[in-house]
Chain A
Amino acid sequence: MPSVTYQPENGPPTQIDAPLGATARDVALAHGVDGIIGECGGQLMCASCHVYVDEAFLHLLPAISEDEEEMLESTAGERLANSRLSCQIKLTEELDGLILRLPAEQL
């Protein structure tokens, strides 16, 4: 089970052992991690599950789709080079130890 750490801007991190194949958005919601809303149900629709991916893991993620790119242009938190929507991050063994920083606001 890959471990994922959610790091809010202010506050303690939450580390979770995630089931393989779940998305980082689903895992956050299932564990009540504040700071990820994901209100569209992980449908790539609401841009409210924005995260900043630790640079060490960026190259392990699948490429950003055109739709995700468009959604990322309009996130409430600043769009950075390591911005992703966590509904698009499927957790694999490779991603074990993943660190996701959370923006101060989602929409």
Chain B
Amino acid sequence: MGAPSSVVIVGTGQGGCEVAAALRAGGYAGTVTMVGEEPGVPYERPPLSKALLAGEIAPEQLALRPEAYFQERQIELLESRRAIRIDRPGRRLELDDGTLLPYEHLVLATGARNRTLELEGLELDGVLGLRTLADSLELRQRLEQAQSIVIVGAGFIGLEVASVARRAGREVTVLELAERAMTRTSTAPTAAFFTQAHREHGVRLEFRSAVRALRGSGGRVSAVEDSNGARHAAQVVLIAVGVQPNDELAADAGLPVAAGVLVDRQLLSGDPAISALGDCARFPCALWQSPVLLESVQNAADQAHAVAMRILGGDAPYATVPWFWSDQAGLRLQIAGRSADAEQVVVCGDPEAGRFSALCFREERLCGVESVGRPGDHVAARRLLTSDPGLSPAAAAAADFDLKAYARSR
């Protein structure tokens, strides 16, 4: 069977854009159409909570490809348009303006949207979320006029924004429901290290702290009341409590969905004419026992590449070691593999000096590595985790253990 004659991609984020780019780079000659809800060319999201928010770079610098790239490669970019229905028998995608786009292959790269909280005062002016370029620009502008910000949620986004706001001299309070920071992404030792670093920079971080209500005057937010009865003054409140996958389009079309579009090792959904990838897809990964959904640029971009290769005729299963990063408190955290729920953690290096790696084990096997100030360890870990690393916690705990040297010896 040859390649399909037309590919329609729903979503113009990193994943959707990389599918289109990789198809053309691989010589794909059929039609390629991208549909996205946001205006403009596809852009990088990581800087939205980092360099762009800090004003260090301009919005134009976020473009994943210049506008001319899409024209030159005949990639049709339908911006500010929403896909509302998949007609699977007719192989057509219906858009919110009534357009019916025929497809031979459909790629769902619909991403995720921010979770919201049921909260009194959520509608007040100054209560924001962060997901899009427009969100980031608005937050930046609001921060310029604010004295203090309260951030709800101590995950990557919340803590990255806390760093930027603190560096700009704002009073920053982070309220987290869990007992520690970054429960979904990082181990306890690494979270503790970053918590201390944030506090040294003057960020107030409170755990086991739920938000009871947002208070305001004249329609504008002025304070956050927490479950312990304390009141935190704020002119800006950022809700950063994670995301949920945009899987409704797939669910409505009868595709198997379980908090994410379920796909196989080839990233195919229950319909061989439909793939799904990135933040909206739940896929089998060797490091997890059950299908997993990963929210990261790397996952979106690498899965996009894999989907494009498959459309072009390849049949390799997707098996890339996932990795993640975060910039916080002037430090960089790099994560390879699966770390947050490790059974055993061995810390190598010197946390006091801000240079260490947390080696994570499950069932006595290395499953992930978190690195701070040790980029070489990170890259070594990504290569080690592609197969059984053969490393025991005891061996890693030896005083002279060196992950890079170990990786080289394998």
Contact = CB atoms under 8 A, between A and B. Distances in A.
Interface of A: 29-32, 34, 39-41, 43-47, 67, 70-71, 73-76, 107
B65 interface: yes
B142 interface: no
Between A29, A45, A71, the greatest number of chain B beta carbons within 10 A of the residue's beta carbon is seen for A45
Interface in B34-53: 44, 46-47
Nearest to B325: A45
Contact of A71 (B21, B25, B69, B379): B379
Interface residues of B, number: 29
Contacts of B64: 29
B298 A71 contact: no
Most buried by B among A39, A67, A71: A39
B267 interface: no
B379 A47 contact: yes
B109 to A, nearest CB: 15
Q: Main SS of chain B's interface residues?
A: helix
A30 B379 CA distance: 25
B73 A32 contact: yes
A74 B297 contact: no
Given A34-B25, A71-B376, A40 B69 contact: no
A27 B133 CA distance: 22
B279 to A, nearest CB: 15
Contact of B46 (A30, A43, A73, A76): A43
Interface string B239-280: 000000000000000000000000000000000000000000
Contact of B407 (A40, A41, A74): A74
The 9 closest A-B pairs by CB, nearest first: A74-B379, A70-B376, A70-B375, A39-B301, A41-B44, A73-B376, A74-B380, A71-B375, A47-B379
B46 A41 contact: yes
Interface in B7-45: 21, 24-25, 44
Contacts of A40: 297-298, 325
Contacts of A45: 325, 332, 334, 375, 378
A63 to B, nearest CB: 17
B66 interface: yes
